[in-house]
């Protein structure tokens, strides 16, 4: 158990929201019933919320809202990629806000969650009171190519297994091959590729993390569903215009923002957070020297809790 986090807490409300196209979102709320609304956006794409995500927020101050994105977790149908794009997710967040009768909320997202948080905040700045982002990712080809090819210099054995012996395989070739297999009709081939992709992810996530901090192995269906959604987004450049998130930061010039970045994050290296902060000068960048990609690392968890605490003061200073 991470001592930096708030104690475990259970939802006081859970629900299902039909967002159309056959998708129904699972959502939950915990903390203060009438507190300052805070929305948690999980990573991936393709991952899901878990009980630990509730613990970054002071439950006596925040009305904490969490949900599983389309095709993810307890949302249904899981693993479905039809009608599942970044634009759909942005619309889902706004529909959930209206459904819960929230005027504005503070948005918290890490990794892919930071991408979605930025995209949503830029599309609906009047709906966002503040932003906390971790392990920033802008969905660019450069970042994805680093993940698929550049990191072979740090985890050569894991990359060799991932590349399947193709020593000269490039990032685009690997992405195309895995997308073709995982999104293809042969379940056996799809599951094998999904397992290899997940193993490579796990090897990267483990670098610099606390021993024994890895997640338990998921069942076949869960792995395949998660990686299907993940590759669907990566193969489509996350359904974002090149440079779009960075060029639209002016829309958030007055929005309080704290960027929390692990110095040792291999998956989403610090250069992205620094680039965002240079373009978004009002945002505060907190570089965690001992931190990696995982929000569960003690140093990262402590920095994220400090960020949600500091955000209380920033929200009080912001005109409603």
293 counts as catalytic: yes
265 counts as catalytic: yes
**Alpha-carbon gap, residue 286 to 111, rounded angstroms:** 15
DSSP codes, 89-147? HHHHHHHHHHHTT-S-EEEEEETHHHHHHHHHHHH-GGGEEEEEEES-----HHHHHHH
Catalytic residue from among 68, 92, 225, 265 = 265
**Alpha-carbon gap, residue 29 to 308, rounded angstroms:** 17
Which residues is 261 bridged to in the sheet? 287
**Alpha-carbon gap, residue 306 to 81, rounded angstroms:** 36
310 counts as catalytic: no
**Alpha-carbon gap, residue 61 to 77, rounded angstroms:** 34
315 with 106: CB under 8 angstroms?
Answer: yes
26 with 67: CB under 8 angstroms?
Answer: yes
Angle separating helix axes 220-235 and 187-206, nearest 10 degrees: 80
Catalytic residue from among 26, 53, 293, 297 = 293
Task: Report H helices in 248-297.
Answer: 270-279
**Alpha-carbon gap, residue 314 to 256, rounded angstroms:** 6
Catalytic residue from among 111, 114, 127, 129 = 111
Q: Which long-range contacts does 170-174 make (Cβ < 8 Å, 24+ apart)?
A: 171/144, 171/145, 171/147, 172/145, 174/148, 174/149
**Alpha-carbon gap, residue 139 to 155, rounded angstroms:** 22
**Alpha-carbon gap, residue 77 to 82, rounded angstroms:** 10
**Alpha-carbon gap, residue 31 to 12, rounded angstroms:** 8
Give the residue numbers marked as catalytic.
111, 265, 293
């Amino acid at each position: 158990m991470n001592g930096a986090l708030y104690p475990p807490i259970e939802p006081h409300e859970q629900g299902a929201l039909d967002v159309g196209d056959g998708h129904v979102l699972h959502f939950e709320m915990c903390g203060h019933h009438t507190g300052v609304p805070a929305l948690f956006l999980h990573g991936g794409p393709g991952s899901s919320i878990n009980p630990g995500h509730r613990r970054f927020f002071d439950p006596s101050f925040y009305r904490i809202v969490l949900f599983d994105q389309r095709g993810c977790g307890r949302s249904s149908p899981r693993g479905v990629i039809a009608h599942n794009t970044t634009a759909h997710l942005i619309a889902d967040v706004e529909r959930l806000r209206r459904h819960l009768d929230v005027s504005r909320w503070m948005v918290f997202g890490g990794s892919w969650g930071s991408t979605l948080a930025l995209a949503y905040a830029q599309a609906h700045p009047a709906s966002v009171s503040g932003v906390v982002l971790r392990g920033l990712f802008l969905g660019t080809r450069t970042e994805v190519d680093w993940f698929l090819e550049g990191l072979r210099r740090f985890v050569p054995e894991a990359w060799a297994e991932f590349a399947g012996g193709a020593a000269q395989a490039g990032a685009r070739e690997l992405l195309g091959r895995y997308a073709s297999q995982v999104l293809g009709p042969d379940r056996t081939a799809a599951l094998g590729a999904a397992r290899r992709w997940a193993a490579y992810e796990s090897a990267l996530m483990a670098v610099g993390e606390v021993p024994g901090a890895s997640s338990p192995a998921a069942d076949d269906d869960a792995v395949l569903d998660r990686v299907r959604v993940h590759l669907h987004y990566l193969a489509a450049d996350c359904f974002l215009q090149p440079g779009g998130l960075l060029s639209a930061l002016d829309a958030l010039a007055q929005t309080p923002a704290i960027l929390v970045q692990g110095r040792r994050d291999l998956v989403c290296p610090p250069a992205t957070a620094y680039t965002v902060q240079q373009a978004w000068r009002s945002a505060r960048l907190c570089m965690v020297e001992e931190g990696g990609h995982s929000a569960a690392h003690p140093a990262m968890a402590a920095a994220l809790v400090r960020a949600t605490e500091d955000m209380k003061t920033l929200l009080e200073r912001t005109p409603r």
